[in-house]
Amino acid sequence: MQRKSLLASAMTAAFLIAAFLSPVQAQDTVKIGAYLPMTGTVASYGQMEWDGIQIAHEMKPEVLGKKIELILVDTKSDKIEAANAVSRLVEKEKVVGIIGEAISGNTMAGNPISEAAKVPSVSPTATNPLVTQGKHYAFRACFIDPFQGEVAARFAFNELKAKTAAVIIDIAQDYCVGLGNFFVKEFVKLGGEILSTTYIQTGDQDFSAQLSAVQSTNPDVIYAPNYYTENALMAKQARDLGIKAPILTGDGAQVDALIDIGGEAVENMYFTGHFHPEAATTERGKEFIARFRKKYNKDVDAFVALGADAYFLLVEAIEKAGSTEGPKVRDALATIKDFQGVSGVINMGEDGNPIKSMVINKVEGGKFVYVTTVNP
């Protein structure tokens, strides 16, 4: 009897302490979750974005007088893992805001879950329009694909003087399919001709058959809006086959691994991108670049900059809302104006899509070189 009551009182005490402790802890910090591909086929994106988020956290570690706690979950570059990651952040970690994912397909897997839980999310680099369409709590820090595809088409037609194009699309990625479609639409509208459209799949390594078919039509430009690994291998095989047409691609290519793997074959590859350090205009951007260079001893990539911007946007919205409640933060995010981000000035437009300028970069001498800026 005595032992039982001792046990009961000990348990009551434990419960009391636990009940007392947890709200105190919760009040101490503001939890922001991130779900990113740290491993798998697009790991470069996630790792770069995480680097950016951490520097951003260093620059602004507090909001509403509380410390910000970052929680990272790896999505392994996989759609199912991405959905699980968001569930975990929402249910177990009780985060007030979410950063992620890096690519469109995975963000579309994760968004419905944060949407249902009324937790605002900001993806650094998911550029497919469908990512935020019809969603109330989903935002992003980057421009969207229609703009990117159109600018690519205009650049190909006006600057590269291309009258004919071949399109090679990774059918497994919503991002690549979207970009391809918008490019084709605009290129045809301008008076160009699409000679062939062929498909590949994420993880494919042999493109010789597709490229031989492309070669037989001899296009002025190849539009291949795919991710960096496929792009690097494809460029190599294209050059081996003697294809000389310039290759034009999207923002997914601006990763060091592209140059590591592609080497000379990716020289003169053009791509539409979010950012180049040379084009950095904001004070925040300059400070960020300086800090990043000091810590990592290398230049800031678009993915690093956008990772940071996703963080800054969330924190700014929490501050503006004066609260961490989902609906209030969401409203603050939706009305962000003239926000001085690392990647440039951000105005939140319709559907949680920022309106911002785009840069065109190319590979030259084993480096990403800034070509020009295009405003919306």
Partner 1 sequence: MTLTIFSQQLINAVSLGSLYALVAIGYTMVYGILRLINFAHGDLLMVSSYAAIYGITIFMLPWYVSFPLAMVFTGVVGILLDRAAYKPLRDAPRISLLISAIGASFLLENLALVIIGGIPKAFPRPDMFARVITVLGVRIQVLTLYIPTLTLILLFGLLFIVYRTKTGKAMRAASKDFETTRLMGINLDRIIAVTFLLGSTLAGAGGIMWAMKYPQVNPFMGVIPGLKAFIAAVLGGIGNIIGAVIGGFLLGLGEILLVALFPGMAQFRDAFSFVILILVLLFRPTGIMGEPITDKT
Q: DSSP letters of 40-74?
A: STTHHHHHHHHHHHHHHHHH--EETTEEEEEEEEE
What's the CA gap between 324 and 327, in Å, rounded? 9
The conformation of residue 273, written as its DSSP 8-state character, comes to E
Residue 250 CB, shortest distance to partner 1, in Å, is 18
CB closer to partner 1, 202 vs 353: 202
What's the CA gap between 262 and 107, in Å, rounded? 28
User: Could you give the 3-state DSSP secondary structure of residue 283?
Assistant: helix
Q: DSSP letters of 241-260?
A: TT--S-EEE-GGG-SHHHHH
Binding site for partner 1 (CB under 8 A): 37-41, 43-44, 47, 77, 171-172, 196-201, 203-206, 208-210, 212-213, 215-216, 229, 232-233, 236, 240-242, 257, 260-261, 263
Residue 229 CB, shortest distance to partner 1, in Å, is 5
Angle between helices 43-59 and 283-296 (to 10 degrees): 110
For strand 358-364 and strand 270-273, is the pairing parallel, antiparallel, or unpaired? Answer: antiparallel
Yes or no: say if 72 and 37 are a contact pair by the CB < 8 Å rule.
no
Residue 196 CB, shortest distance to partner 1, in Å, is 6
Yes or no: say if 62 and 68 are a contact pair by the CB < 8 Å rule.
yes
CB closer to partner 1, 258 vs 342: 258
CB closer to partner 1, 38 vs 152: 38
CB closer to partner 1, 246 vs 263: 263
CB closer to partner 1, 123 vs 229: 229
CB closer to partner 1, 89 vs 255: 255
Residue 365 CB, shortest distance to partner 1, in Å, is 17
Residue 258 CB, shortest distance to partner 1, in Å, is 10
CB closer to partner 1, 84 vs 173: 173
Alpha-carbon distances of 361 from 89, 128, 131, 267, 302, rounded to whole Å:
36, 20, 25, 12, 11
What's the CA gap between 38 and 52, in Å, rounded? 13
Q: Is 199 left (phi over 0), alpha (psi -120 to 50) or beta?
A: beta
Residue 122 CB, shortest distance to partner 1, in Å, is 23
CB closer to partner 1, 44 vs 106: 44
Q: List the structure tokens of 104.
A: 């469109």
Q: Is 208 left (phi over 0), alpha (psi -120 to 50) or beta?
A: alpha
Residue 129 CB, shortest distance to partner 1, in Å, is 22
Residue 249 CB, shortest distance to partner 1, in Å, is 16
User: Could you give the 3-state DSSP secondary structure of residue 75?
Assistant: coil
CB closer to partner 1, 134 vs 365: 365
Residue 64 CB, shortest distance to partner 1, in Å, is 35
Yes or no: say if 56 and 306 are a contact pair by the CB < 8 Å rule.
no
